[in-house]
Amino acid sequence: MEVAIEKSWKEALQSEFEKPYFARLVSYLHEEKAAGRRIYPPGGRIFRAFDLTPLDRVKVVILGQDPYHNPGQAMGLSFSVPDGVPAPPSLKNIFKEIESELGIKMSGRPNLEPWAQQGVLLLNAVLTVRENQPTSHSNIGWQEFTDAVIRCISERCNGVVFLLWGSFARSKRDLIDTSRHYVLEAAHPSPLARGAFFGCGHFRRTNEILEQEHKTPINWQL
């Protein structure tokens, strides 16, 4: 199946695109649109995380669950929303943690593309959602695909830092070869976690690991 995705990912994941589950997934999305349902993110941005972070440039993976479901928010990157859109509560807490850990001031800019361009794969486990219906596409095949993405990174890359926040993300740990990669776990940054995310130290620790791996640290400041 022909899929519009960055070249290195297309080559690495071609076998997934040819499996029956992926054809069913695509058919389901076509049926949703034919039924007049609004799907986020827009079609051209479903694979935006892959387009901005080619496979050979992945240094960090931040795993989210599914896209934002309100109009104008989802842009194909976990936790990120476009410029001009107010930062959602989880993203605000991420920024608070960065400020606390690194002693820097964040601008509040909610667009995380600069992170993606430095090698942070902002991957949602589910890549689409119906408008105003959270997790509505959680069982249509996306998780089989993104599990394959995580395994692909685990097998083809070295020294990647996986940031797993919350029980859902942490459930993906078994897909990662921890003898080759680093896994940092914490509570989800959502306010529902009652501040348990704060103090995780992940942003400082990630850069320490990247330096140990002789990789350029991430400039987290936006």
The residues that are catalytic are 66
At which residue do the structure tokens 């920024």 appear?
A: 95
The β-bridge partners of 165 are 186
Could you tell me which residues come within 8 angstroms of residue 194 by beta carbon, excluding any fewer than 6 positions away?
Answer: none
Residues forming beta bridges with residue 87, ordered by sequence position? none
At 46, list the tokens: 């479903």
Q: How far is CA 42 from CA 75, 99, 203, in A?
A: 8, 32, 30
The H-assigned helical ranges of the chain are 7-17, 20-34, 48-52, 89-102, 113-117, 142-156, 166-170, 202-212
